[in-house]
Structure 1
Amino acid sequence: MPQLLSVNVGMPRDIAWHGETVRTAIWKEPVQGRRMVRRLNIDGDKQGDLVGHGGEQRAVFVYQIESYHYWEQKLNRNDFVFGQFGENFTIQGLSDEEVCIGDQYRIGDALFEVTQPRVTCYRVSIRMNNPQMPALLVAHRRPGFYLRVLQEGEVEAGNEIIKVTAGPERMTVADIDGMLYLNDHPREKLERALHIPALSPGWKMSFQSLLEQAVRGETTGSNSGLAPQAGPLRLGKASVPCKYQRSNGRVTACALLSWYQSTNIPWQRLSLDSLSSCA
């Protein structure tokens, strides 16, 4: 039976990074006892960047202990602690290759629905002290996933995770993640994804754009800013609203994706002269 191993919360803090100050709440600490989960947050938890994080569709981030073990081996590290990947729930079981968008789970007194994979963000590079981490999470198909809170309630470490409802179309978190970030965008899969009511609106908009390109016979590609081999690119300051930019005008791939998902502009039409990767 899948199990909740740790409940982790954190408040925004300012972190010095590459000569800049980054506001982030990716540092999460385990809490003891029962903790209330509400529509937007777990009590004691906040997000530092509400453009790319938080909201009803991304109230709780989940990561698996099996992925901890995987990365410990791949990265040759033994210093991981609960909350290492910025997750609210560290769980046992329910891999990204198994969990589907729209699946519903009861944990403690609360009821949750899977809405989307994690959008890889440069902040995980800061937390992991590894600039390649965002690209690695995608390439190795281990992004983790977000939950929407359908019924508020208390949870605690040790709770069993009980599957209540299977999502329609049976599209896994790993499949959905790969469709956006990698090269393969089959029309049939895009259409299926758009039929999943629980899928976050931003992801639906992205897939709708890709589907329209496929219908027109246009070639679609991956998000090059997140490719493991991608070097720094640049996006002109005028192309992206200031709230998505850092103080020096640089734009990270995750910030671009957050902006892109709030528009209906296919990323292939963006003027990519200044995008830096999430690394």
Structure 2
Amino acid sequence: MAEYDPRPNPAGAGGAATGRVLAVNVGTALPLVVAGAGTEAVVLSAIRKHPLSTLHHPIAVGVHRLGLAGDEQADLTIHGGLDKAVYAYPIEHYTWWNTRRREAGVEEAERPLAFGAMGENLTTQGLLESALWIRDRIHIGEVEFIVEAPRQPCYKLNAVMGYAHAVRDMLQSGFSGMYLSVAMPGVIRAGDIATVIPGPREVSVESISRHGHR
């Protein structure tokens, strides 16, 4: 995994910035083996993302109303669409997930999770669920996003994390990440500063993620 600035909320011009993008990730729909109740099944999923733009190679990636150029969603009943066009996840939670995987005895756990491992399109720094509210706006590069909802994980998270209780852990921890809609399309790249413009501030992402309040 690429290095990132450990300082919280790296400041931009005028100190207005609240975070930045460390990686822009995309994926295509591919077969995924999922286990449950002693059986295995193969489903189509695009949860596995790979970095397209990184701090070392900050190429521009197009963002349109329905998501990132080159990205796919397999199950459009729960992913994608205007309100779930882009999924952002904080790098700050990665260490916690690495620890949980080791505790669960995942064979590959000694290798740190790579950007995109949570299925996120944007790996971010400084944009935490506790500091973002539904309908906040986030300016990144040319793009304006709107915070819509925390992620409600499905069984596929267990498969990519490699252990049976990853969904439970995400729900109990509140480390959900957040779905974003695209208010203004454009291009973004790794290293872009993210500036939050407060919305009505009635419901926080964390309160929904932890308690289901809306």
Tell me whether the two structures share a fold, i.e. TM-score over 0.5.
yes
2:205 to 146, 159, 173: 173
How many Å separate the matches in 2 of 1:27 and 1:124?
10
How big is the shift at 1:119? 1.2
How big is the shift at 1:171? 2.1
TM-score when normalising by structure 1: 0.62
How many Å separate the matches in 2 of 1:120 and 1:4?
22
How big is the shift at 1:96? 0.9
The AA in structure 2 aligned to 1:30 is P
Q: Which has a greater percent of strand?
A: 2
Counterparts of residues 234-273 of structure 1 (less than 5 Å): none
**Unaligned 5+ runs, structure 1:** 181-189, 194-279
When the two chains are superposed, the root-mean-square deviation of aligned CA atoms in Å is 1.3
How many Å separate the matches in 1 of 2:129 and 2:200?
16
How big is the shift at 1:72? 1.8
How big is the shift at 1:31? 0.5
Q: CA-to-partner distance for each residue in 1:109-137, whole Å, 9 max, x for gaps?
A: 10000000001111111111111011100
How many Å separate the matches in 2 of 1:73 and 1:167?
34
1:48 corresponds in structure 2 to 74
2:43 to 18, 22, 25: 22
State the identity as a percent.
Answer: 33
Larger Rg: 1
1:138 to 162, 168, 171: 171
How big is the shift at 1:170? 3.9
The AA in structure 1 aligned to 2:71 is D
2:180 corresponds in structure 1 to 147
How many Å separate the matches in 2 of 1:21 and 1:94?
34
1:31 to 52, 57, 74: 52
Q: Which has a greater percent of helix?
A: 1
1:4 corresponds in structure 2 to 21
Q: CA-to-partner distance for each residue in 1:219-259, whole Å, 9 max, x for gaps?
A: xxxxxxxxxxxxxxxxxxxxxxxxxxxxxxxxxxxxxxxxx
**Unaligned 5+ runs, structure 2:** 1-9, 11-18, 54-58, 103-108
SS in 2 for 1:168: coil
Counterparts of residues 1-279 of structure 1 (less than 5 Å): 1=10, 2-18=19-35, 19-32=40-53, 33-76=59-102, 77=109, 78-163=111-196, 165-180=197-212, 193=214
How many Å separate the matches in 2 of 1:29 and 1:51?
23
How big is the shift at 1:48? 0.7
How many Å separate the matches in 1 of 2:142 and 2:166?
34
Of structures 1 and 2, the one with the larger relative CO (CA 8 A, separation 6+) is 2
How many Å separate the matches in 1 of 2:98 and 2:34?
24
The AA in structure 1 aligned to 2:206 is A
The AA in structure 2 aligned to 1:16 is V
